[in-house]
Structure formats: C-alpha cells, structure tokens
Structure 1
Amino acid sequence: MSVRLIVRTFSELCITAGALIILFVVYVLFWTGVKAAGATEGQIDTLQNQWARGAVSVPGPNATDTPSSAPTPSPAPAAYRDGKPFAMLYIPRFGKGWEWPVLENTEVKTLQKGLGHYRGTAPLGRVGNFAVAGHRRTYGDPFKDFPTLHRGDAVVLTDGTTWFTYRIEKKPYRTVPSDTGVIDAVPRKSGFDGPGRYLTLTTCDPEWGSSHRLIVWAHLDATQPVTDGGPAAFHS
C-alpha cells in the first residue's frame, strides 16, 4: 500500500469521524431540545385539559398531617399515575417564561418530557419531602441555571386547584449520586430538624456531566386556591 493511499484513507476516516462528532453535538445541543419542547407542550396540554374537566390527581392527606391555617387541596381518590403529569412547577428566578410539568417517576423517558417526582416521596404540599429531578442540560435544559438559586428564592407549584409556594433554605449543595439521604422525609444535610412540608430539587453536576448532583431544599411557605389568582411570588 502506497503512502499516498494510507494518507488518503486516514484523511477520509478523520472526515467521517468529524462529521459524526458534529452530528452528535447537533443532536445533543439542538435535537433533544426540539424533542423536549414538543413533549413538554404535550404534557402541559394534558394537564390543562384535565384541569378544565375538573380531573385533579391529588393523593389524600398523610396520616402524619396536622391541621394548618393554610388552605390545603381537597383530597381526591386518585394517586399520581406512573409516568403521567400531575403538576406544574415555576421558578421565578429563572424567568417569566420558565414553566415545566412534573410527572410521576424519574425514569429516563419521563425526564425527556419534563421534571420527575421521585416515586415514594411525599405528595405535593403534604408532610414529608416532595422531591423532584430534572436535567441540567439536554432535553430543554430545565435546570441549566440551577447554581444561581439562593436562599429565599420561591419555587411555585400548582396541581390545578391550589398554589404551593416553597422557599429555598440555602444555596445548592453538591453531593454524589449515591447520597440518597437528600430525599429522605427529613432530608439529610438540609438543616431541617424535624418533620415538615419540604421540597427537594436535584440535578446533575458538572453542567455537562453526571459524576455529582446539585441539591436545593425548600420548605412550604404559603398556599392559596387558584381561584384567588397567582401567588405573590410571581410579582415579587
């Protein structure tokens, strides 16, 4: 084989490899976002149609729930349906247009459609820890700006009948994927010292990797019926 043929073959292989890399980058940076936008809009439409029909999936109160002066959602017999949306989540710090559906479970296919509620953690607004996962990058980059969250920031959710406003306790905490205690009913390292109505958000770290996790914890600060309008956190 001549040197010229070897050089030409090597050059062609390099061009092919470069083209494949470019296609992969386009897929990761662009196409997963396109797919996520369509899937997310579909989940939002599903929720809006359910709520328009008065079909709200809200598990009944926990046995450990205690009376509160804050309004709570009317319990319904249905539990969250696996892989299906049941709430919308808003983080005002991320901008007015930032809104994502929350689906039940954190499987790969579920997180391609929105945010995922950790199966087995508390229902929305109830005593315990309502824990949610989301992609940092790809599939719409929902938690791209996760590191900018600060103490006092609002995380707002609705199940179609009630607004739930949680307040973040501290800046993001970095840990490893095996640290499952961060989604305990009283999450470890959160600073919470007893049962309460908590929220945990998790995402990957570093930005384009998954060797670690970023965590924020929040406590339930206020609730109000959706018929009273949007919560104050949207206007602050």
Structure 2
Amino acid sequence: MAVRLIVRTFSELCITAGTLIVLFVVYVMFWTGVQAESATAGQIDSLEQEWVEQPVPDTTAATPPPKAYTPGRGIAVMYIPRLGGTWEWPVLEGTSATILKKGLGHYAATARLGETGNFSVAGHRRTYGDPFKDFPRLRPGDAVVLTDGTTWYTYRIKTKPYRTVPTDIGVIDPVPRPLKKNAAAFDGPGRYLTLTTCEPEWGSSHRLIAWAHLDATQPVTQGKPPALTG
C-alpha cells in the first residue's frame, strides 16, 4: 500500500512538473511575443505622435544642441529590409532587461544617431518578438535604416556577423576594436552603427555583432529613402 502511494505521488509530481514545463515553454515562445508586439506597437505610436506634435524648426535661428536621450524613452524606429518587409522596431534609450522587452536598446554610452562615433544597439535573438532571430542572414551591403522623425539615416552593413564573447566590449567603441584583429574593418573615426544580439539562438554564452557605416541621409519631407522603396 505504501509503495502504491509513493508511486502515485511521484506520478502526480511528474505530471505537475511536465505541465509547468509546457506552460513555461508556451510563455517563452509565444506569450512574450504577444507582449512584445503590443509594447513595440505602443512605442512606435508614441514616437510618431511626438514627431507630429514637435514644433517646426526655425531655420533662421542658430541650431540648439540636441537634448540628451531620456532613459527608457523611444528615440528612433529601425528598419532592416533583409529581415523582412514588415520588420520594424523601435529603438529605446538603454539596454536593461525591461527596455529590451519593449524593443531594441541603444547603448547609452555610445554615439547619437547619425553622429560621428558608434551608434550601438542591442536586441533579443529570441523571446519578446524575436527581433534579431534572423541576424545571421545579414550580409555586407545590406541596409539598416532609421528615422528620428526629421531625418532618414541609411547605414550599410560592412561585414558578415562576427561571433564573440560578452566581455568583448571593444565592439561598441567609437571606432570598433574587437578582440579579433581587423574583424570590424574600420581603421579611423566615422559614423558607425553596431548591432548586437545573443548567440546561440536560444542561449547567451556568446554574442553576434554586425557593423555598418552611414551611407546616406535625407529629410523625412522627401519621402522614404531608396533602401525602403526599391
């Protein structure tokens, strides 16, 4: 009788554990994506509303210095045609776990969008919408387009994705200086973009990096850039 009770209890525990595992997998694979879709749509809507409401600049006055980015707030929207015609993600200031649930995150210590230096951005490979799921597909010459509501910035990928370790922080230096010599293929100041994500696909022991350089800019009043209309 005691043996039967132990077996039944153990079986019930196994069923409970199995149910919890299934629920966790559903949460990770599906529910975080639902949450991310709602959060990113909200971020993009907020940004677009801010851009509509911002005052028309006075072209006769001296241009004031740009305001510092606000932690946790949206600063731009990114498009990467290689990753799909509907691939559209907000970029927020900061790279905390909370921020990366809402979109991509700008490394706060790196350059502003379009300026000299290295505008560096992190994003999830998997979960929370899988923004960089297809990161390995990026190839030299691919466009990475961003807008801050007044200007379109078109960057061009310089190298194939580079695999490294999380401690290789030189990848987001103003002139990228990765551990592997010449991996970034940049040898002097410029207007660079760095994209980072986790590697392997469902792990975080390594990082995948892609570098790009600013190729073109144009006012949003001129419509979308060729990289998004071609």
Above 0.5 in TM-score?
A: yes
**1:231 aligned onto 2:225:** yes
- Tell me the secondary structure at the aligned position of residue 193 of structure 2: strand
Q: Which runs of 5+ in 1 are unaligned?
A: 57-73
Give the AA of the match of 1:196: G
Judging changes above 3 Å, is the alpha-carbon distance between structure 1 residues 55 and 48 closer, same or farther for their aligned structure 2 residues? farther
Distance 2:42 2:218 in 1: 27
1:73-122 Cα distance to aligned partner (Å, 9 max, x none): x6654221111001000000111111000000001100000000001100
Residue in 2 aligned with 1:6?
A: 6
- Tell me the secondary structure at the aligned position of residue 207 of structure 2: strand
**1:49 aligned onto 2:43:** no
Residue in 2 aligned with 1:107?
A: 96
Residue in 1 aligned with 2:59?
A: none
Deviation at 1:48, TM superposition (A): 0.7
Deviation at 1:20, TM superposition (A): 0.5
Residue in 2 aligned with 1:153?
A: 142
Distance 2:43 2:55 in 1: 15
Note the aligned Cα RMSD (angstroms). 1.3
Residue in 1 aligned with 2:186?
A: 192
Residue in 2 aligned with 1:89?
A: 78
Residue in 1 aligned with 2:205?
A: 211
Give structure 1 regions of 4+ aligned residues with deviation exceeding 4 angstroms: none
Deviation at 1:234, TM superposition (A): 1.2
Q: Which runs of 5+ in 2 are unaligned?
A: 57-62, 178-182
Judging changes above 3 Å, is the alpha-carbon distance between structure 1 residues 101 and 184 closer, same or farther for their aligned structure 2 residues? same
1:48-77 Cα distance to aligned partner (Å, 9 max, x none): 110001269xxxxxxxxxxxxxxxxx6654
Give the AA of the match of 1:178: T
Deviation at 1:187, TM superposition (A): 0.3
- Tell me the secondary structure at the aligned position of residue 201 of structure 2: coil
Residue in 2 aligned with 1:138?
A: 127
Deviation at 1:235, TM superposition (A): 2.8
- Tell me the secondary structure at the aligned position of residue 110 of structure 1: helix
Aligned length: 219
**1:30 aligned onto 2:30:** yes
- Tell me the secondary structure at the aligned position of residue 7 of structure 1: helix
Distance 1:201 1:223 in 2: 19
1:10-33 Cα distance to aligned partner (Å, 9 max, x none): 110100000000010011011111
Deviation at 1:192, TM superposition (A): 0.2
- Tell me the secondary structure at the aligned position of residue 92 of structure 2: strand
Judging changes above 3 Å, is the alpha-carbon distance between structure 1 residues 76 and 54 closer, same or farther for their aligned structure 2 residues? farther
Normalising by structure 2, we get a TM-score of: 0.92
The equivalences for 1:162-173 within 5 A come to: 162-173=151-162
Distance 1:187 1:75 in 2: 29
Distance 1:217 1:40 in 2: 24
Distance 2:100 2:92 in 1: 8
Deviation at 1:2, TM superposition (A): 2.1
